[in-house]
Amino acid sequence: MVDDQQIKQWLAEGLITEPQAQRMLADVSAHRKQRTSDKLVVTMSTIGAILLGIGAILFVASNWQALSNLAKSLLLLGATFGVSYLGYLLAYGWQTFPKVGAALLFLGSLLFGATIFLIAQMYHVQANSHTLLLIWLLGILPLVYVLHSMPIAGLASVLLFIWIGVFVLRGLEVSPGDGLALPILYLVSGLMLFEVGGLHYVSEALRVVARTYRIAALKVSMASLFLLSFRFFSGHYGDWQPRKDVQISEPMSLGITLVAALAILLACCNLLFNPSKSSTWKLEGGLSIGVTALALLFLLFSSTTNIYVVLFNLVLVGCIATLIAIGYQREDARLVNIGMSYFAAWVLVRYCDLFWQLLPRSIFFMVGGAVLVLGGIALERKRRQLTARFAK
């Protein structure tokens, strides 16, 4: 979007007249006010929807003993579908209050999950069963594709990752050492969802859903890579060697291998067809396949050295640089912010690793504090510049 500085520059260069500049400045100001108003409406509607949901759940809970199971079920189902239908009418039927309607639809998705777990509790089904999460996920997916809702797509992404963890830890016979393999599982799962999101670009109507999936996948993948850059997960501390001292169970290994294979297959499809029409699709696909292959290599071929720690740190830095570079190229502030956040965290962690034993404690904390303060100022300044530059 054009900003005030550009308009003033055009006026100074004689490209536009004074009346035109004033009109453009007024339009920019009106657009900013509209954006602020929209954000306020969304915030208030979301908070109101959440409060309504909490109130409905508390109402059922306060009368839990007085109601029969049938009455409880009907009340919960009625509230869920009633809120969802009202949201649909406001956003798509009457089209009078689309943002409020979207907030109510999101509330309906949350109430759907609460209804599933409360009804399961009534009929003595284990609340920590992965099946309930899967039902919740499958129940809201149609809304994602029919309504192209970004908030519900984000909720579906969160439920997918939670379900994967619960399914592995509760649904399979796992060993205590499988907890150390969770970063690998979530790394390949994040890459798989990233490639799934890429395939959604084949439809123009699903671009919002595709971006939501890919942003969620990036956050999970980067968090997993960050964990794997520590020796606790991928290396050893003296006599502590996680891959030697604790073993990964066969179900966990098989699950990671299958998800990784699917991620590589989807990445190949994106490389062949490039549904996103991106100029960096080769870089994205190649990096995705490379990281997945490294995860499989780490899973299948253990090492008594810290070679994997070095490799995961190098890959993490490479992914950070790629995110920042692509973010600048596309003028995408979110990608740049993700990359810069992990770069700051990585620098802080590596600083502590390298200098904790080398420097006196007082100098360590003074230098570290100065680096954090100056780095925070630099990052905040850069963030403001990016926000102003990429604002649309």
Nearest to 215 by CA among 150, 149, 280, 261: 150
Residues 6+ apart with CB under 8 A from 91: 97, 98, 99, 100, 101, 102, 104, 105, 147
Residue 266 has pLDDT above 60, yes or no: yes
pLDDT tier, 325 (very low <50, low <70, confident <90, very high otherwise): confident
3-state secondary structure of 305: coil
Question: Distance between CA 14 and CA 22 in Å, rounded?
Answer: 14
Q: Could you give the dihedral angle defined by the CA atoms of residues 58, 61, 66 and 72, in that order, rounded to the nearest 10 degrees? A: 100
pLDDT tier, 371 (very low <50, low <70, confident <90, very high otherwise): low
Question: Distance between CA 114 and CA 134 in Å, rounded?
Answer: 13
Do 333 and 386 form a contact (C-beta atoms < 8 A)?
yes
pLDDT tier, 117 (very low <50, low <70, confident <90, very high otherwise): confident
DSSP character at residue 65: T
Who wins on pLDDT, 255 or 76? 255
pLDDT tier, 121 (very low <50, low <70, confident <90, very high otherwise): confident
pLDDT tier, 294 (very low <50, low <70, confident <90, very high otherwise): very high
Residue 70 has pLDDT above 70, yes or no: yes
Highest mean pLDDT among 3-17, 198-212, 372-386 belongs to 198-212
Who wins on pLDDT, 356 or 297? 297
pTM (2 decimals)?
Answer: 0.79
pLDDT digits (tens, 9 = 90+) for 18-54: 776 667 666 666 555 555 555 555 566 566 666 766 6
DSSP string spanning 120-132? HHHTT--TT-HHH
**In the prediction, which pLDDT does 64 show?**
63
pLDDT tier, 128 (very low <50, low <70, confident <90, very high otherwise): low
**In the prediction, which pLDDT does 221 show?**
94
**In the prediction, which pLDDT does 369 show?**
62
If phi > 0 it is left, if psi is from -120 to 50 it is alpha, else beta; for residue 277 that is: left
3-state secondary structure of 2: coil
Do 99 and 42 form a contact (C-beta atoms < 8 A)?
yes
Question: Distance between CA 293 and CA 179 in Å, rounded?
Answer: 21
